Amino acid sequence: MIRTARAADVPALHAMIRDLASYEKALDEVHLTEEQLHTALFGPHPAAFAHLAEDDTTGEPVGFALWFLNFSTWRGVHGIYLEDLYVRPEARGGGHGKALLRELARTCVERGY
């Protein structure tokens, strides 16, 4: 299942961001706090957006896509910039990454990006 992230998901998102950085051998470069992530996603002027992939059986978050808006001066419309796409190693091969990308594509079409 893919869904829009909620405020209660911040700890899981933060943990997966750290997992991704660890995988990239760059954990020491992550300075993001849960509070910063919460503000970026759910503050009065969100700077980023996220979707979560949940395990079909447990409902636990197993992946995420974090993105933000860009703007085309030539076309005059917003688009999205996908900052991170991550699926936990134990959930890979289950179609979660593809489902996250499909949901982002649907969002783009729905919003005219």
pLDDT band of residue 104 (cuts 50, 70, 90) is very high
How sure is the predictor about 99, in pLDDT bands with cuts at 50, 70 and 90?
very high
What are the tens digits of pLDDT across the range 76-89? Answer: 999 999 999 999 99
> What does the pLDDT read at residue 2?
97
Q: What whole-number distance in Å separates Cα of residue 57 and Cα of residue 74?
A: 45
State pLDDT tens for residues 16-75. Answer: 999 999 999 999 999 999 999 999 999 999 999 999 999 999 999 999 999 999 999 999
Assigned token pair, 18: 């750290």
Domains and CATH numbers, the chain: 2-111 (3.40.630.30)
CA distance 6 to 13: 10
CB 27 within 8 A of CB 14: no
pTM of the predicted model as reported, rounded to 2 decimal places? 0.93
